[in-house]
Chains A and B, each alone.
Chain A
């Protein structure tokens, strides 16, 4: 869901002192906002896109750059549900729990996924394969209940089709043999096309 929202075109910025090129993305956003403290949320968006989640080091880096207190940055990062301080699973399944989907029994889908994978909404399986998230309306209410599996919107789901879709995603990547790194590549690609 956290799709590309950095606006500047990809440019060959110099690598960050830490050697991790992803910091260059953060630096670019910092520069675009001229290091203004008000830009904290935008910077966190960029950081999460680049790294997948907000590690402690990353929060410290952002706090230093914006000259903000650590607790302030932590407070903001934990207030908004978009930001995650834990690594996310290789695959993710977002179940809409908005009103329209609730009326069309999305709760049964969540329950079925919970039983099938042993985790609750908001959690990641211990093997890091799957995260299940509940969302509040994905803006496709006409097609309720709605599900997003690895970025693909699926409409008019049932518990059975939902599990089948998740299983398919997991098996596909198991066959291909790698998942996580390709996700990161995706976010770079999206960077480029804007």
Chain B
């Protein structure tokens, strides 16, 4: 594999051809928020939080879907990028009903985390306050649409890792919603194997174990690499001793 060199935030770095910008950036120990992308799932470029400035183009490019190329020069935390990230997070908080104080993920939520890290302490936009249901028909899990940010990690993991394709998205625009089967209650879904993968990868309190109470839900992502490596390389190596996946 060919080695490439490029500059990230004015530092010269080297990486491997074919790597995504995101991987390369993270290898340098630089934190970049990613709410839709998750290592092991197909990059989608939906949340726009990982946008970076690339010198050769006037467009901002998402690090998760862009391949690193020889000679690229990028900025990851310019004033403009940070401002936009903050605005995007505000938009997400305004879109649905996030009341952290009573949420199962309070304290461990990726959305909340990113907002805290960037210092987002208020929302300047109208809360859209949509009326959305909570579906608790499944034996083990619940889906609370009020907390969903439409990252579609659940759709992706259920399709590409579990292979069930129980989830998909219905409608479009701000009226989109994740659905199981024919927009039926999750509990009656015949395709769901109750594997729980979707719950584990969900960045927010939208998907949770049934019965979790406020701030109780813990999620792990490490199974993803475990399964994918097992599938591709026939190697099963548990990282971080198999404890909590994130961080």
Contact = CB atoms under 8 A, between A and B. Distances in A.
A74 interface: yes
Contact of B179 (A56, A59, A60, A71): A71
Given A69-B165, A69-B166, A69-B191, A74 B172 contact: no
A71 B172 contact: no
Nearest to A85: B183
B171 interface: yes
Interface residues of B, number: 16
Contacts of A75: 168-170, 179
A78 B179 CA distance: 11
A59 B184 CA distance: 13
B168 A72 contact: yes
Interface in A49-75: 56, 59-60, 69-75
Nearest to A79: B172
Given A69-B191, A71-B165, A72-B165, A56 B170 contact: no
A82 to B, nearest CB: 13
A69 B181 CA distance: 7
Most buried by B among A72, A73, A74, A79: A74
Contacts of A71: 165-168, 179-183, 191
Interface string B178-193: 0111110000000100
B191 A70 contact: yes
Interface in A113-166: none
B166 A79 contact: no
B198 to A, nearest CB: 12
B138 to A, nearest CB: 15
Interface of B: 159, 164-172, 179-183, 191
18 contacts: A69-B164, A69-B166, A69-B191, A70-B181, A70-B182, A70-B191, A71-B167, A71-B179, A71-B191, A74-B181, A75-B168, A75-B170, A78-B170, A78-B172, A78-B183, A79-B170, A79-B171, A79-B172
